[in-house]
Amino acid sequence: MKRQRSSSSGKDRISELPDEILASIVSLLTMKEAGRTSVVSRRWIEIWKFYNGDLDFDGSSTLARYAREGNMGGAGIAWYRSWVDQVLNSHKGLEIEKFKDRYGLEKRHKDDIDRWITFAMGKNIKELDLNLYSFSGGYYEHAYSFPSSLLSPLAVSNLNNLTRLCLASVDITEEGIAYFLANCSSLQKLIVRCAMSLVNLKINSHSLRFLEVSQCRALNSIEISARELHSFKYWGRQVSIGYNDVPSLKHVSLGNFYMQYVLETLSQHPLLLSQVKILTLDLTFMLRSREGCFFTRTFPQLCNVRQLELEVLVYHDQCILYLYSLIVASVQLEKLVVKFKIAEWARCEKVILNPCNPRLFEELVPSIEAEEEEEEEIGEVARERARQLGRRLPPGVELVIM
């Protein structure tokens, strides 16, 4: 049977679709991909302006060129501001999913940032991500402050669908955080980093599931009442943390000086001892002189920890057996993750790995009784992990597996 030729062969059927459908299709693309569709035809010039996906202003490739030329703070900022303004001034849609500003802007760019945030808050946004780490290094001194004028009933009424708020190197007060929590009923994820004005932070939320507070150098205390909170991360100085009402909290991640304080006073943290199932500790800031005190320390039992994640900075002449006591204290441990950051690779010539004796598993987790065949299998897995590490070593570093 001969195939009949379609009378519409070569005809652009997609462009005949209604604007609303075309805008929905374009919105499945990234912002840059959506912008490129404007060159398809005259019809498509306007379609991408109704894009309602993620406005992610990540100009890393272009900014890398300015960095090589030493113009990140001059021509780089001018280009970035022009790019964002051009996109926002062209946008005609009623909604966007996400707005991400990822460039080292500071308080001297307040007018621009205020204008961009006002735009995003008027678009029924779901995720607002401001990552404004300054290229000048003044994360606190030069940080942009979130304006109180935008925290009004009229402005926040457009944030009923906000599920994620990230403020990195954005200064905000306790009152500002409280306003977001009280008026954004769908907020599930809150990240606050390098906020200079936070001193006594109170978290009260019925919807929050993830909370991160990091590098807030003036912070003295955190009080948390969030019954749906599943994961909490704190990285910074020693503070008082009150877990007032967190029955769903299962994952806690700690780092910097507060982590050291917790290890020294672990018996005073009942939530970590009896409730948390996943415990992540960033030990990279552990002072080398302090490691010895953990080598012989007997920690109280972490009765409910099933997964222990440790991030360690290792020097060429360093032993990491100080981790042993912490591992043994996790009596219900099912998964151990150790992430190594190797310092001074230039001085390292050889890495010697001795895959652990399978019998060690009986000592770390007494409920495991390995038969001979199982021991051989566990030993081979350990050796394979060692070989995988070898493929990631820098050139010139020899790997020896015993």
* Residue 88 sits in the same domain as residue 158: yes
pLDDT value, residue 10: 57
Q: How far apart are CA 161 and CA 183, in angstroms?
A: 10
Task: Confirm whether 1 is domain-assigned.
Answer: no
* Residue 181 sits in the same domain as residue 77: yes
As given in the structure block, the two tokens for residue 148 are 């109180």
* Residue 86 sits in the same domain as residue 177: yes
Q: pLDDT truncated to tens, each residue of the chain (402 aa)?
A: 444 444 455 566 776 677 778 777 777 777 777 777 776 767 777 777 788 888 888 877 777 677 777 666 677 788 888 989 988 998 888 888 999 988 778 888 899 999 999 999 988 899 999 988 765 555 567 789 998 888 877 666 678 899 999 999 999 999 999 999 999 999 999 999 999 999 999 999 999 999 999 999 999 999 999 999 999 999 999 999 999 999 999 999 999 889 888 988 999 999 999 999 999 999 887 655 555 555 557 889 999 999 999 988 876 666 677 788 888 899 999 998 888 776 655 456 766 666 654 444 333 334 444 445 555 565 676 677 677 766 777 777 777 776
Task: Confirm whether 401 is domain-assigned.
Answer: yes
Question: Which residue segment(s) compose the domain that 38 sits in?
Answer: 16-51
pLDDT value, residue 218: 94
Q: Select from 249, 273, 292 the last residue of a domain.
A: 249
pLDDT value, residue 160: 86
First CA to last CA across the chain, in angstroms?
Answer: 70
* Residue 388 sits in the same domain as residue 336: no
* Residue 97 sits in the same domain as residue 242: yes
Find the CATH number of the domain harbouring 22. Answer: 1.20.1280
Q: How far apart are CA 64 and CA 177, in angstroms?
A: 34
Task: Confirm whether 266 is domain-assigned.
Answer: yes
What are residue 200's DSSP bridge partners? 221
* Residue 237 sits in the same domain as residue 270: no
Q: In 3D, which of 45, 58, 52 has the Cα closest to residue 26?
A: 52
pLDDT value, residue 216: 94
Number of domains in the chain: 4
* Residue 324 sits in the same domain as residue 307: yes
Phi-psi category of 344—alpha, beta or left, where left has phi over 0 and alpha has psi -120 to 50?
Answer: left
Question: What is the pTM for the complete model shown?
Answer: 0.79
What are residue 337's DSSP bridge partners? 309
pLDDT value, residue 290: 55
